[in-house]
Structure 1
Amino acid sequence: MSASPGRLIIYKDKVILDNPCTQHFFGEITPENLHPYSHNPTLCKFMIQLGRFDELGSGVRNINKYLPLYSKGAKPVFKEDRQYFQLVLPLAGPVSSNSPKSSKKSSQKSSQKIVLLMSENPDITIAQLSKKIGISDRSIKKHIAFLQSQNRVKRIGPDKGGHWEVLE
């Protein structure tokens, strides 16, 4: 077995996991030709001790069963060669549902919610806005900076003890 580390490589269109192993099979592994054995006994022992292990071969069966549900039409590829066991998970379609159009719309909605919440409660904090809207504090700060640059909101007083004034 190679002393190389296992790797997880994420691309826009696929995820590749490769792991050094002792060869038992050569070529593509399918649920039909699967003969389960531990590719990496050290990793296997570790996962058993963590309680994160069903049985040998269950990963091949489960990934073949569930990947098409999460990535429409995708078919995983399990391969083994002299030194590595490799899993390629194709990602059909976009990785994120945030296309530029939907991202811009959700950004506008978040800004509108911020303005509304500030008009309802001028003493509202960034943490409270973050919790109510469901986005990070950093995103709230970016929205507020944009709203301030558009002269839609203004901060009166210090961060602690001050309040928001809606200018629209």
Structure 2
Amino acid sequence: MDDDELLRASRLWSRDAETGERGFTLAAALLVGSDDLIFDVAPAYRTEALLRRTDLDRHDDRVTVQTNLIDAYDQLVAFGEKWLPDSFALDGVQRVSPRSVIVRELVSNTLMHREYSSPYMAKLEIGRGYLSTRNASRSAYAHPVTLDNLDPTPKNPVIASFFSQIGRSERLGSGTRKLYKYSRLYAGADPKLTDGDFFEAMVPVPDAMPMLPDKAGRAETPGRARRERELDEIVALVSRVGKASSSGISSELGIQARTLTRRLNELVEGGVIVRDGKGPMTRYRLPQ
């Protein structure tokens, strides 16, 4: 398809039932419009992503996203994946990343099913042991959302259909089921979902050492990023198995012994994990 055919097929170009005029819909502006156009037609639209792990009164990191929904999805997913540990899990015999699935489901839901006429700014927040989202909704009544009462009715069907066609979301209803499934794999607990004037989601996540920005304001380098990722992976693994030996951690995560020793010492000295035993019987665990 050329651009015009794509927009018509996606219902982004339509006819106004009252005036008979044809033109782009609000969904078109939000999905593929320029930042200036989006601000003109939906000035209240923006999403704030926050990290609150050490500074609970304010934030440790913050990103405000006010761009088209395609780019907004990528920016918000990147923020979530940056600050959450990517723990190992098996779905049957296949290795999966519960973190990535959870982040993508919550972000797509926040962008697809919100009430864009509301002045409320949608939020994605990562805190100690949780990932949450909150956005304006328009449900008839407030109620918890469970697998038993799931009502897969899209708030914005054109946007939801477009996201599904480009692979940014699952078909209606399956995303919530996947969220429950991978939340159990990730943290061993169910998410909490509530719909009403606001749609709120809270997913438990493994608590991990915060990857805070360098105090000197230095740009993140590949070495620093790798170190932070390895620290998070170690904490996530120890959290999942209870106690772990250095050889077990090295085998599971593929970290070389010398590097792993430095990472373990750093975590122990920081009080993030505890070292029990000596020699071959040394085990690492989270503090009580």
CA-atom RMSD in angstroms: 3.2
Give the deviation of 1:15 after TM superposition. Answer: 0.3
Q: How many angstroms apart in 1 are the aligned matches of 2:176 and 2:187?
A: 16
Q: Distance in 2 between matches of 1:80 and 1:13?
A: 22
TM-score if structure 1 supplies the norm length? 0.51
SS in 2 for 1:8: strand
The correspondence for 1:58, drawn from 168, 171, 174, is 174
- Residues 65-122 of structure 1: CA distance to partner in whole angstroms, max 9, x if unpaired? 22111212x110110122x1111001255473435xx7xx97981399xxxxxxxxxx
Point out 4+ residue stretches in structure 1 off by more than 6 angstroms.
Answer: 105-108
Task: Work out the number of aligned pairs and report it.
Answer: 107
Partner of 1:68: 184
Aligned to 2:280: none
Please name the residue that 2:24 is paired with: none
Alignment of 1:137-156 (within 5 A): none
- Call closer, same or farther: CA 1:108–1:51 in 2, change over 3 Å: closer
1:4 is aligned to 120
The equivalent residue for 1:89 is 203
Q: Is the 8 A contact 1:20 1:40 kept in 2?
A: no
Gaps of 5+ in 1: 113-168
Corresponding residue for residue 258 of structure 2? 109
Distance in 2 (CA, whole Å) between partners of 1:5 and 1:42 is: 21
Kindly indicate whether the alpha-carbon contact (under 8 Å) linking 1:39 and 1:85 is maintained by their aligned counterparts in 2. no
| Structure 2 alignment gaps of length 5 or more | 1-114, 210-231, 236-245, 262-288
Q: Does 1:80 align with 2:195?
A: yes
For normalisation by structure 2, the TM-score amounts to: 0.32
Matched, 1:14 2:163: no
Other-structure match for 1:23: 139
Residues of 1 paired with 2:168 and 2:260: CA distance?
42
User: CA 1:111–1:6 in 2, change beyond 3 Å: closer, same or farther?
Assistant: closer
Q: 1:88 to 1:48 in 2, by over 3 A?
A: same
Larger Rg: 1
